[in-house]
């Protein structure tokens, strides 16, 4: 959808629904799934549904054969509506409420992520004999959204934790990591897989052979800046897996934005244009609190491919604009010095490509402004 839309913006102007809206091409979601599976041969996909849990997207991925990764019991319930077997679900969030662990285990979830002794204790108490996989802390400095120190543990503690898991009656099942969201370096996966290999080797000396290597998320979608292609990542992953001390029975990954970002375009009407000093401002009906939160979170800004309802958008003279949302909050600014047609005015529409990830998932009705209407085509 995004590629077609920006090659021919008239296709978006023909949508007979008032902005704001987020239109998603489900055929693109299916194509991205196929591209991922083709590039990472032998890697089982478990979609990170926190990225976009629209029922239409879940249904599309179920039909494609995807597995799923959850962060809460509510997400599991969404999957059950679509007939997903909880036994095929990964509950990877490293810190979970005890009640959610118990409910997930009762529903049939058997694999739980962790990164601390406290979490192991909760799992042992609420999901006895469950399979557990430890999350390593790895270098995420080359990602747009680093995970920081919120989750993950170092190699030495991971080793001790897996031995503790066995003593608690749990099954030491696997190892996972996260290189940070929208990771821009193949080297991050190379380094992380090697760390996982060191842990696998040490645990084998203790009679523990891990059954799962989970490559986590971070697989980049295409925005404006160039990122590693999924084919490049697939080659690196294959090379590093071949160097492991042994290949686990299951190698999986948890892509999110790679599968859904490029499938969607967000349309928002300009509600104000002002000149403040020498700075040109555009105010939109959608801002950080209504679907465009990620630009606010990204230290270096966030480069969506953009177009507008003006004819011949790409050929018009431009000005650098600051783009703000509709709310009264001073932080509701989603872009600075964005080159856009100089003639844009109130009533024109801006289109944000690659907007399928973490838009509606973050959106609220802050200040009484509604999130974009979700629309779906294809599928």
Is the CATH code 3.90.180.10 the one for domain 53-255?
Answer: no
Cα–Cα dist 8/17, whole Å: 18
| pLDDT band at residue 366 using 50, 70 and 90 as cut-offs | very high
pLDDT at 147 over 80: no
**Alpha helix ranges (H) inside the chain:** 2-7, 10-13, 26-39, 55-64, 73-81, 98-107, 117-126, 155-167, 186-204, 230-242, 257-260, 293-297
pLDDT at 7 over 60: no
Backbone φ and ψ of 176, nearest 5°:
-140, 175
283-337 confidence digits (pLDDT tens)? 999 999 999 988 877 755 668 899 999 988 889 999 999 999 999 999 999 999 9
Strands 111-114 and 131-136: parallel
Q: Please, how many CA atoms are within 13 Å of residue 117, restricted to the half-sphere of its CB?
A: 6
76-85 confidence digits (pLDDT tens)? 999 999 999 9
Residue 321 tokens, joined: 């604009």
> What ranges do the domains of the chain cover?
53-255, 262-377
Is the CATH code 2.40.37.10 the one for domain 262-377?
Answer: yes
Q: Please, how many CA atoms are within 13 Å of residue 161, restricted to the half-sphere of its CB?
A: 27
Query: Collapsing DSSP states into helix, strand and coil, what is residue 113?
Result: strand
DSSP 18-69: PSSEEEEEHHHHHHHHHHHHHHSTTPEEEEEGGG---HHHHHHHHHHT-EEE
pLDDT at 157 over 90: yes
């Amino acid at each position: 959808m995004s590629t077609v839309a920006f090659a021919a913006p008239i296709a978006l102007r023909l949508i007979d629904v008032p902005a704001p809206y987020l239109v998603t091409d489900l055929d693109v979601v299916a194509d991205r799934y196929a591209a991922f599976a083709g590039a990472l041969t032998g890697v089982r996909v478990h979609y990170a549904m926190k990225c976009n849990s629209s029922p239409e997207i879940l249904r599309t991925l179920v039909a494609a054969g995807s597995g799923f990764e959850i962060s809460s019991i509510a997400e599991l319930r969404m999957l059950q509506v679509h007939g997903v077997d909880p036994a095929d679900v990964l509950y990877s969030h490293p810190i979970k409420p005890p009640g959610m662990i118990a409910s997930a285990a009762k529903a049939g979830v058997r694999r739980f992520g962790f990164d601390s002794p406290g979490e192991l204790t909760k799992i042992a108490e609420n999901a006895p004999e469950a399979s557990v996989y430890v999350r390593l802390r790895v270098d995420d400095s080359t990602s747009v959204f680093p995970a920081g120190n919120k989750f993950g543990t170092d190699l030495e503690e991971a080793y001790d934790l897996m031995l503790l898991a066995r003593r608690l009656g749990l099954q030491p099942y696997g190892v996972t990591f996260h290189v940070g969201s929208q990771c821009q370096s193949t080297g991050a996966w190379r380094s992380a897989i090697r760390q996982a290999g060191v842990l696998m080797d040490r645990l084998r000396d203790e009679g523990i052979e891990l059954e799962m290597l989970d490559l986590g998320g971070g697989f980049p979608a295409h925005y404006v800046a160039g990122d590693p292609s999924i084919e490049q990542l697939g080659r690196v992953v294959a090379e590093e897996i071949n160097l492991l001390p042994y290949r686990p029975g299951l190698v999986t990954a948890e892509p999110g934005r790679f599968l859904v970002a490029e499938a969607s375009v967000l349309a928002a009407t300009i509600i104000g244009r002002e000149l403040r000093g020498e700075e040109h401002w555009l105010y939109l009906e959608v801002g950080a609190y209504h679907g465009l939160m990620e630009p606010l979170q990204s230290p270096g800004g966030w480069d969506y491919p953009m177009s507008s309802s003006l004819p011949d958008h790409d050929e018009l003279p431009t000005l650098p604009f600051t783009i703000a949302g509709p709310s009264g909050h001073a932080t509701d600014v989603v872009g600075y010095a964005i080159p856009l047609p100089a003639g844009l005015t109130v009533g024109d529409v801006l289109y944000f490509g690659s907007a399928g990830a973490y838009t509606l998932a973050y959106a609220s009705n802050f200040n009484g402004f509604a999130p974009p209407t979700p629309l779906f085509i294809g599928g």
